[in-house]
Structure formats: C-alpha cells, structure tokens
C-alpha cells in the first residue's frame, strides 16, 4: 500500500483548524461576557448615583431631630469621621436589615444623615453583588453560569458587601476630583442661589468570568494603579476595607487574589435647601421625637369620638396609619394610636 506524504495528507484538517481557532474565539467570548457584566454594573451604578442624589437633596436639609438632634447632626452638614456611639439613632435601618452590629469589630464611618443617603445607593447595587466564593476564589468562577451567580446569593451577600464596596461622595462640582471622605463637609444654601448638589457613587465590581477576569480586572493590591481617585473615594465607604483608610483590615483584603474593577458614576440635582429653622433647632419639641418614627404620644388621652381611624398594628400619621418602622411626615390628624384613646 502506498503511503501518503505528510505534506499532501489532508485528513482531519478541519479538526486541526478548529483547534487553532477555538481558543482565540473562546477567549474573545469570555471577554465579551465579562465586558457585558461590567456594562450592566455600570448602568446599576448610575442608577445608584441618581438615587443617592435624590436622597441627598432632601436628607441634608431635613429636620435634625430625625438624625440625633441639632448638636449631633445639624442640617446641611455631614460628618465623615463620626463612628457613632452605641444607641445613636439609625434611621437608615441598616442595623435592622443585617440583624447585627459590626461596631465592636470594625467601626462604621459617617453619621446618621450620611447613612440614609448611602442606603438609597445600596439598593440598586444588590443585584450586582458577588457571591462569597467569587470574592475569595482567586481563579474566578468555574463557569460563566457561576459568574452570573444565583439571585438569592447575590441578595444575601449584597447586604454585607455593599457596606465595604460602595462609597457615596459629594464632589464640589460635576467631574471634580478630590472628593472629601473625612472630617466635616458643609453644604451652604441661600434662597435663589440655584445651588446644585453632585452625588458620586464609587463601586468595586467583582470580576468573576473565568480567565477574562484576570485579563481585564485587577487584584486589590493593584486598585490604586487602576484608578487613583476611585481608590481614594472607596475610603469613604461605611466600613472601608478597600481604598484609603482601610487600616489593618484593608491590608488583609489586599492579600485577596480576586479581581475587581472600579466603577464611578455621578448625578447632579438642584439642592432643596431650607433657610428656616426647625422646632428642634429652636429648642422646642419636634414631631419626630418618637423613636418609633410616629407622632409622639402625649400624657393626655384622646376621646374615641375624635378619632376617625384607630391604629392597632402601626402608628398614627395624619389621617392614616403607617408602619412603625416608617417616619411620619404629617401633622397630627384624625388617626389615633390605640394606646392613646381614653378608656
């Protein structure tokens, strides 16, 4: 039988061509998948910036009584260095959501007013949160399906991850660098000034697509090189583990070999300031002195005939009933708490 020469033998040529082309094309597909996830996260970060700006223009000039009083949290001001004593009011509800406080392990950064604004930014980013294995595993996920992750794991991890990986800052102007992340930041307001408030959200996105994560993103120790300003702003997170201000805990996270990408988006809105003084600033009582968030009870009972609605499970607010976890924005009306009706 006559043997074919190797140069003229074309058998299995398609198989060889497939092997040559497969790895570059497969790598390109993994890269496109990782880019798609980064762009999806970037849209969520922009939504978070919009939510933070909408919250800030209302919360910053709000009644100090809702945030611990005028001495602790004056209006038009936030304190980045306030680590909070035990018993400080938590209108953001973060402690209630987590069911625990990390104050004894890692002190939180920022006052109650700032935490409410942060909470508004956290919610859109829960869907982008990584699973625990994605944060720790240096190789990324074992598959693209694992990189996307299960919804319940993202929700559970997001409650804790966002506290360290999301920073809300307020630059002096749109696009301005050097945002403040410590000390006291004041927001001056005068009627008719047309002052604008810019809220910027900096998010540490976890890249987890196999192989593509190592090519497109950086380990924590290299994040400063990726974005100097973004690294600085991450120091303004509630529990700063990444970026400036992480301390010893931040040094330990720098040993992680997982890959991250810093995303930054901002939103600018007209500042809804207030020049008048609230009752709490004048030394009087406030409609929000009740720690449950409803209308404070008075020693005098109310006749049942004056109550058009009786609140037995929630609290009275104006002419209706609201949840005991909500803050009432209405003056006393025809709704009554069951405990304040005269026997």
Q: What is the pLDDT of residue 120?
A: 93
8, 64, 237, 302, 324 from 341: Cα distances, Å? 101, 30, 45, 5, 18
Q: What is the pLDDT of residue 299?
A: 46
Tell me what the mean pLDDT of segment 315-333 comes to. Answer: 83
Percent of the chain with pLDDT over 70: 74
Q: What is the pLDDT of residue 252?
A: 57
Q: Which residue has the higher pLDDT, 145 or 86?
A: 145
Domain ranges for the chain: 25-270, 287-340
Q: What is the pLDDT of residue 261?
A: 92
DSSP conformational letter for 5: P
The least confident of 233-242, 294-303, 327-336 is 294-303
Q: What is the pLDDT of residue 42?
A: 95
On the question of pLDDT at 53 being above 90, the answer is yes
Q: What is the pLDDT of residue 119?
A: 92
pLDDT digit string (tens) for 238-294?
Answer: 888 776 665 555 555 555 668 899 999 999 998 877 667 777 766 655 555 554 444
> What's the pLDDT band for 211 if we cut at 50, 70, 90?
confident
> What's the pLDDT band for 160 if we cut at 50, 70, 90?
confident
Q: What is the pLDDT of residue 104?
A: 43
On the question of pLDDT at 141 being above 90, the answer is no
Tell me what the mean pLDDT of segment 77-88 comes to. Answer: 65
> What's the pLDDT band for 54 if we cut at 50, 70, 90?
very high
- State the CB neighbour count (10 A cutoff) for residue 64: 24
The chain-wide mean pLDDT, for the chain, equals 78
Q: What is the pLDDT of residue 105?
A: 46
On the question of pLDDT at 11 being above 90, the answer is no
Percent of the chain with pLDDT over 90: 21
Residue 249 tokens, joined: 């805990």
pLDDT digit string (tens) for 169-190?
Answer: 999 889 999 899 988 998 877 6
On the question of pLDDT at 43 being above 90, the answer is yes
The beta strands (E) that lie in 4-156 are given as 77-79
5, 235, 252, 256, 261 from 220: Cα distances, Å? 55, 13, 10, 7, 9
Q: What is the pLDDT of residue 103?
A: 40
Q: What is the pLDDT of residue 333?
A: 84
Q: What is the pLDDT of residue 167?
A: 93
Q: How far apart are CA 300 and CA 315, in angstroms?
A: 17
On the question of pLDDT at 110 being above 90, the answer is no
On the question of pLDDT at 51 being above 90, the answer is yes
Tell me what the mean pLDDT of segment 13-21 comes to. Answer: 84
DSSP letter string, 257-291: --EEEEEEEEEEEE-----SPPGGGGTS--TT-ST
């Amino acid at each position: 039988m006559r043997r074919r020469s190797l140069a003229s033998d074309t058998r299995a040529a398609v198989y060889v061509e497939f092997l040559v082309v497969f790895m570059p094309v497969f790598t390109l597909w993994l890269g496109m998948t990782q880019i798609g996830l980064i762009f999806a996260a970037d849209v969520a970060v922009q939504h978070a910036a919009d939510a933070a700006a909408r919250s800030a223009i209302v919360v910053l000039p709000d009644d100090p009584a809702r945030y611990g009083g005028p001495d602790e949290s004056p209006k038009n001001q936030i304190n980045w260095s306030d680590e909070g004593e035990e018993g400080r009011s938590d209108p953001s509800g973060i402690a209630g959501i987590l069911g625990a406080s990390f104050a004894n392990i890692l002190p939180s950064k920022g006052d109650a007013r700032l935490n409410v604004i942060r909470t508004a930014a956290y919610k859109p980013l829960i869907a982008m949160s990584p699973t625990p294995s994605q944060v720790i595993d240096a190789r990324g996920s074992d598959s693209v399906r694992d990189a996307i992750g299960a919804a319940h794991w993202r929700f559970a991890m997001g409650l804790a991850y966002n506290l360290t990986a999301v920073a809300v800052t307020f630059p002096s102007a749109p696009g301005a660098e050097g945002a403040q992340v410590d000390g006291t930041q004041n927001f001056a307001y005068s009627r008719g000034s047309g002052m604008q408030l810019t809220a910027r959200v900096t998010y540490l996105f976890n890249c987890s697509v196999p192989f593509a994560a190592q090519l497109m993103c950086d380990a924590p120790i290299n994040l400063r090189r990726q974005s100097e300003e973004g690294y600085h702003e991450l120091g303004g997170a509630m529990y700063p583990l990444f970026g400036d201000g992480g301390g010893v805990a931040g040094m330990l996270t720098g040993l992680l070999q997982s890959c991250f990408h810093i995303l930054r988006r901002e939103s600018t809105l007209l500042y809804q300031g207030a020049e008048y003084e609230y009752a709490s600033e004048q030394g009087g009582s406030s409609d929000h002195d009740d720690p449950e968030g409803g209308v404070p009870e008075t020693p005098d009972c109310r006749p049942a005939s004056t109550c058009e609605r009786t609140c037995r499970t929630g609290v009275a607010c104006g002419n209706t009933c609201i949840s005991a976890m909500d803050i009432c924005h209405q003056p006393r009306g025809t709704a009554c708490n069951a405990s304040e009706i005269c026997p």
